């Protein structure tokens, strides 16, 4: 939304130190309520000097009324003057050491006329002003009073306490935003390194595969060469024999002609003639079977295309997710009364009995016990996609970002799924550890409730510890990743931090506790399966109200989960298969 330039200029003024003329660095305010950088004001006070007879001397005190620093001589004079004798002087050393009782001065300068002191307050304009302001700008205002009268009881007023509370909330929200940004950078850095590693691994795998293909073609070439060379060698040997025989006949005939008689020559001609005819016939038979062999190579079409069409290892995309407005939390907290507000049904989804659901990444994700899958729905209840998992998925918990963990009942396994891609990442086999509900807490540790035990495991499936409960421990929840809240008996629920039990809530109107939900205001909701109600309690275990199951139009509540920083929540049913999306208004 566009902001008027004059408003932005005024806002910039509020953030600018008038000493260094830059944006505040660790802002600190003076008794006059003027604000400066901590380093600037320290430098100014410590090095502030008074020049007397052209001599520069170090300041030793600060007057809260005059808002000036004085050297030793000026300090004594200031105390002796009648007009300033009652002014409060504070040692610079005490200010520097932090041991001074420096308090806000009662003498405040007018914003419009800095040389004037604020003496009156215009109620009509909610503005403190000096007598000159009152005369020039507020002479027609009906409600003008003294600043002392206007300020009476201001510290205890609802206006101040509300502002203090709002500032506290905003500061907490700003801290969360800053942490979120830092976490985002850390996550981006980690993801970037993972991508580089993935590309490097992919390159190595491609090269390894090409090396294997090269080795394979080398073996084929060597085999073909050996086979062809053996055939050619046999042919060379055969025709070498023919050549040797023919050469011998030629030599005998030549000697007969040159040295023998005519009778001898006739004998050799009659002898060799028929033999050469037979040799020629054999040669022709051999030559019919001969082939001129060579080898050719036709590259794979896929490899040829790879050289020209593979222009990159893949595509890089900056994935943008809408950043939730931190201010909406404070605004929502003011608008919604979680402890007495009505409950409105938004959507109904037919899923499965004894199922679990969670809000994550703009989706409602539901485990389907009967169909053995995990399905995601849009927040308006429309089916998006489902992923088959092992029998029988019971509970679901968020691990990090869009990754969830799903408990696989009976088979004692945990499956990890990326909800955005609906992709199975890995599965933990927890042999010997019973699995029913599931909750991810601090340090990527998981708590597995089952009947009368809670078992802690790490992300590799290693058992860390086990705790015995009062029974009915089927689901467990956490408010801050450090505590855990669980069924601790047929009509009891306990909240534990570390080894300390913060409270155990017991109520005769609660029977068969199952899922535990938490809103962002800190209230806890317990699904009473057998008592057919939901108990809403405070974070210290005090009953707020009991919500009848008729409110949701289901038979018995099974689990309850709230969307992060929202008044929306989801309730699943123990036997009808209905999942009800609601909100508190």
Q: How many CA atoms lie within 13 A of 369 on its CB side?
A: 22
What is the C-alpha separation between 158 and 148, in angstroms, rounded?
Answer: 18
**Cα–Cα distance for residue pair 362/564, rounded to 1 Å:** 10
Q: What is the Cα–Cα distance from 506 to 523, expressed in whole angstroms?
A: 16
Q: What length is written for the chain?
A: 585
**Collapsed DSSP state (helix, strand, coil) of residue 200:** helix
Banded model confidence at residue 57, pLDDT cuts 50, 70, 90: confident
Listed in sequence order, the DSSP H helices in 5-68 are: 5-14, 38-47
Residues 6+ apart with CB under 8 A from 432: 412
* Residue 203, burial from CB neighbour count under 10 angstroms (0-12, 13-18, 19+): exposed
Contacts of 109 (CB under 8 A, 6+ apart): 32, 115, 116, 117, 118
Closest CA relative to residue 132, chosen from 147, 112, 108, 106: 112
Reported as a pLDDT band with limits 50, 70 and 90, residue 55 is low
User: In the predicted model, is pLDDT for residue 31 greater than 60?
Assistant: no
pLDDT at 12: 58
Give the pLDDT band of residue 390 (cuts 50, 70, 90). Answer: very high
d(CA 299, CA 101): 87
Residue 120 bridge partners (DSSP): 129, 146
355: three-class secondary structure by DSSP: coil
Contact (CB, 8 A) for 303 and 212? no
- Alpha-carbon gap, residue 250 to 45, rounded angstroms: 126
E strands, 245-360, where?
A: 343-350, 356-360
pTM of the model: 0.52
CA-to-CA distance for 252 and 287, rounded, in angstroms?
Answer: 27
Of 95 and 420, the one with more pLDDT: 420
- Cα(89)–Cα(101) distance, integer angstroms: 11
Reported as a single tens digit per residue, the pLDDT across 258-311 is: 998 989 889 989 999 999 999 999 999 999 999 898 999 888 888 888 877 877
Mean pLDDT of 99-109: 60
Please name the residues in contact with 171: beta carbons below 8 A apart, sequence gap of 6 or more. Answer: none
Distance CA 253, CA 142 (A): 151
Question: 248: Cβ–Cβ under 8 A, 6 or more apart, which residues?
Answer: none
Query: Which pLDDT value is given to residue 191?
Result: 87
E strand or H helix at 78: helix 72-80
pLDDT given at position 4: 46
Work out the percent of the chain whose per-residue pLDDT is above 70.
Answer: 90
Residue 104 clears pLDDT 50, i.e. is over it: no
| Alpha-carbon torsion angle 561, 563, 567, 569, nearest 10 | -30
| pLDDT band, residue 323 (cuts 50/70/90) | low
Q: Average pLDDT over the chain, rounded to whole?
A: 86
């Amino acid at each position: 939304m566009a902001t008027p330039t004059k408003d932005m200029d005024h806002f910039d003024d509020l953030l600018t130190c008038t000493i260094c003329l830059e944006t505040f660095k660790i802002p600190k305010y003076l008794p006059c309520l003027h604000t400066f950088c901590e380093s600037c004001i320290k430098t100014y006070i410590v090095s502030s000097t008074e020049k007397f007879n052209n001599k520069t001397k170090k300041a030793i005190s600060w007057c809260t009324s005059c808002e000036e620093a004085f050297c030793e001589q000026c300090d004594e004079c200031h105390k002796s003057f009648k007009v300033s004798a009652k002014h409060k002087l504070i040692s610079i050393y005490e200010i520097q050491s932090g041991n001074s009782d420096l308090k806000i001065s009662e003498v405040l300068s007018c914003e419009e006329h800095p040389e004037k002191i604020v003496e009156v307050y215009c109620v009509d304009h909610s503005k403190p002003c000096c007598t000159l302001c009152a005369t020039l700008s507020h002479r027609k205002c009906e409600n003008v009073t003294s600043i002392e009268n206007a300020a009476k009881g201001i510290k205890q007023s609802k206006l101040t306490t509300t502002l203090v509370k709002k500032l506290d909330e905003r500061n907490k929200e700003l801290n969360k935003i800053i942490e979120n940004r830092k976490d985002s950078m850390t996550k981006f850095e980690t993801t970037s390194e993972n991508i580089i590693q993935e590309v490097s691994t992919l390159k190595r795998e491609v090269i390894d595969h090409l090396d294997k293909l090269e080795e394979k073609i080398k073996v084929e070439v060597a085999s073909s060469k050996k086979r062809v060379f053996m055939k050619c060698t046999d042919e060379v040997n055969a025709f070498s024999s023919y050549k040797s025989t023919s050469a011998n006949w030629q030599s005998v005939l030549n000697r007969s002609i040159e040295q023998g008689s005519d009778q001898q020559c006739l004998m050799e001609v009659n002898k060799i003639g028929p033999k050469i005819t037979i040799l020629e016939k054999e040669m022709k038979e051999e030559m019919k079977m001969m082939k001129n062999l060579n080898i050719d190579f036709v590259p794979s079409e896929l490899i040829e295309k790879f050289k020209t069409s593979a222009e990159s290892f893949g595509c890089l995309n900056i994935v943008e997710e809408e950043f939730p407005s931190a201010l909406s939390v404070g605004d929502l907290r003011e608008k919604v009364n979680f402890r007495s507000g009505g409950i409105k049904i938004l959507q109904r989804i037919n899923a499965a009995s004894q199922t679990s659901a969670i809000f994550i990444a703009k989706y409602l994700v539901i485990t389907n016990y009967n169909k053995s899958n995990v399905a995601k729905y849009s927040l308006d209840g429309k089916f998006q996609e489902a992923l088959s998992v092992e029998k029988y998925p019971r509970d679901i918990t968020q691990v990090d970002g869009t990754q969830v963990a799903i408990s696989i009942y009976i088979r004692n396994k945990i499956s990890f799924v990326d909800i955005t891609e609906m992709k199975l990442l890995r599965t933990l086999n927890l042999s010997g550890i019973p699995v029913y509900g599931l909750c991810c807490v601090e340090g990527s540790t998981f708590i597995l409730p089952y009947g009368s035990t809670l078992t802690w495991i790490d992300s590799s499936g290693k058992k860390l510890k086990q705790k015995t409960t009062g029974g009915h421990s089927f689901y467990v929840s956490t408010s801050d990743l450090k505590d855990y809240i669980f069924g601790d008996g047929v009509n009891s629920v306990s909240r534990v931090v570390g080894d300390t039990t913060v409270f155990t809530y017991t109520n005769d109107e609660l029977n068969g506790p199952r899922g535990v939900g938490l809103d962002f205001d800190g209230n806890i909701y317990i699904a009473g399966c057998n008592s057919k109600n939901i108990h809403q309690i405070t974070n210290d275990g005090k009953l707020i109200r009991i919500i009848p199951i008729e409110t949701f139009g289901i038979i018995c509540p099974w689990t309850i989960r709230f969307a992060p920083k929202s008044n929306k929540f989801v309730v699943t049913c123990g036997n009808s298969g209905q999942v009800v999306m609601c909100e508190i208004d």
